[in-house]
Amino acid sequence: MRQTIWAGSEHNPESTHCTYLVNAPLTFRAIWRVAGGWLNPRTLERVKILGRNKEAAREVMVASGVPVESMPEWCG
């Protein structure tokens, strides 16, 4: 798993501008902390894990330049 994560982050760090994970469960966040040590720092900067508060998640995405009309309805 470690090698797979490393390979993906080393060879594809520019393929995504930013990824937002909304409503991620606690177990995922714990795993992410461990896996984050194996990722390229540029990749880590592009992944934002947002909590369960949909309004707060929406504000973060809008502040980052995500157009409201491109957000799914369940994101607020």
What DSSP designation does 8 have?
H
DSSP 41-72: HHHHHTEEEE-S-HHHHHHHHHHTT--GGGS-
**What CA–CA distance (Å, rounded) separates 20 from 70?**
13
pTM above 0.75, yes or no: no
Residues of the chain with pLDDT under 50: none
Q: What pLDDT score was predicted for residue 52?
A: 78
Q: What pLDDT score was predicted for residue 73?
A: 78
Q: What pLDDT score was predicted for residue 18?
A: 79
Q: What pLDDT score was predicted for residue 54?
A: 76
